[in-house]
Structure 1
């Protein structure tokens, strides 16, 4: 499994409410994406950051998703260009409610 951190760093233009709206609006678009196991939209107001964390079944699926065109689209949506970092997932715990 591969994890991907997509981090948006803001200055004075940080708008927490706007980021909540983006997350709520975009959430459904990721349901059923092939190879995507999970995605979390996160906010850190004290650091003026939004980080989206993805868990992918394979590195190929993750790298196929994160194209330059996608980065350009999310840059337009979030208003800043994100940093994208791929990491290996050594172990994953999922506590799913029935």
Structure 2
């Protein structure tokens, strides 16, 4: 498994409500996405950041998703260019309820 942190760092133009709206609108696009195990949309108002965290089944699936075209599209959506960081997941605990 591979994790991906996608972090949007804002200056004075941080708008928590706008970021929440983006997350709520985009959520459905990721439900059932092949290769994607989970995604979390997060906010840190104190740091003026939004970070999306993805858990992918494979590095190939993750890298195929994060194209330059996608980065350009989310830059337009969020208003800032994200930093994208790939990490290895050593262990994952999931306590999902069905």
Q: TM tier, shorter chain? A: over 0.9
Distance 1:95 1:55 in 2: 15
Partner of 1:57: 57
What is the count of residue pairs matched by the alignment?
A: 98
Normalised by the length of structure 1, the TM-score is 0.99
Runs of 4+ in 1 over 4 A off after TM superposition: none
- Map 1:12-27 onto structure 2 (within 5 A): 12-27=12-27
Distance 2:3 2:15 in 1: 26
Deviation for aligned residue 1:76: 0.2
Normalised by the length of structure 2, the TM-score is 0.99
Deviation for aligned residue 1:32: 1.3
Q: Structure 1 unaligned segments of length 5 or more: list them.
A: none
1:41 equivalent to 2:68? Answer no
1:7 equivalent to 2:7? Answer yes
Distance 2:77 2:22 in 1: 8
RMSD, aligned α-carbons = 0.4
Deviation for aligned residue 1:88: 0.1
Distance 1:11 1:96 in 2: 35
